[in-house]
Amino acid sequence: MKIIPVPCLEDNYSYIIIDEETREGAAVDPVEPEKVLGVSKENDVELKLVLTTHHHWDHAGGNEKMKQLVPGIRVYGGSLDNVKGCTHKVENGDKLSFGSDIHILALHTPCHTKGHISYHVTGKDEEDPAVFTGDTLFVAGCGKFFEGTAEQMYQSLCVTLGSLPKPTRVYCGHEYTVKNLQFALTVEPDNVRIAQKLSWAQKKREASLPTVPSTIEEELETNPFMRVDLPEVQEKVGCKSPVEALGEIRQRKDNWRGCLRIRL
């Protein structure tokens, strides 16, 4: 299994998942269909399906055009989301496959939208696990609570996604990593892993390279929204429960303007 990030719009990512044996592929959130198809052709890949994480236009807005350009392509989306161009609705726990050995598990991860789906993908013998998290989980961050609650985001991040195997690669919907890590340092200024990853991410972006994928293990070390079970994180934000802490951190992030004060 091979995964190719395709930068789209200003800071979005679409992805192409490739079964290297059959050269069949799946496109995740192909908001710019011509660009995604161009990359697939360059890699001799025949796209068979579209995996849509949620209904927002910068993720689902290319589905109708993709159906015109690739007649018969299957377009998947969450059953509770009104996903544009959807041909196949999926529920939590639904299983899909393509190629000779690519397996996909739909995970309902609501809050950003009520029907948001993350897609857990594995190759042969469940090797090389990856998860496509749309706007639920970002590198060192999470999506805004547009259609849900802190409790739902806690379940989506810390229970559903947080319980995946630690080596699982995380492919998110936007390139927000540098700002997310800068904010994470305001929550945990003494977390060395956050500082190290911020330095790494800044170098990546200076070289115009993506900061995806992360891993579930890295997120548990550096993402404040996935660290709210830790008493020390709850204490830092003045909260007494994981859900309360997650809500408080999200509110702080919503009001944060990116002005990081460096302590000398």
Q: How far is CA 253 from CA 219, 237, 246, 250, in A?
A: 17, 12, 10, 5
Catalytic status, residue 174: yes
Catalytic status, residue 112: yes
* Cβ–Cβ < 8 Å for 212, 171: yes
Handedness of CA 143, 144, 148, 154 (dihedral sign): positive
60: tokens are 């689902």
Indicate which residue of 19, 29, 55, 59 is catalytic.
59
Helix (H, G, I), strand (E, B) or coil at 148: coil
Indicate which residue of 29, 54, 55, 108 is catalytic.
54
- Between CA 187 and CA 220, with CA 179 as vertex, the angle to 5 degrees is 55
Catalytic status, residue 58: yes
Indicate which residue of 55, 108, 112, 120 is catalytic.
112
Indicate which residue of 19, 29, 56, 108 is catalytic.
56
Q: How many CA atoms lie within 13 A of 167 on its CB side?
A: 5
Report the distance separating Cα 140 and Cα 151, nearest Å: 19
Catalytic status, residue 116: no
Quick one: 209 exposed, middle or buried, by C-beta within 10 A (0-12, 13-18, 19+)? exposed
Percent helix, percent strand, percent coil in the chain, to nearest 5: 35, 25, 40
Active site residues: 54, 56, 58-59, 112, 135, 174
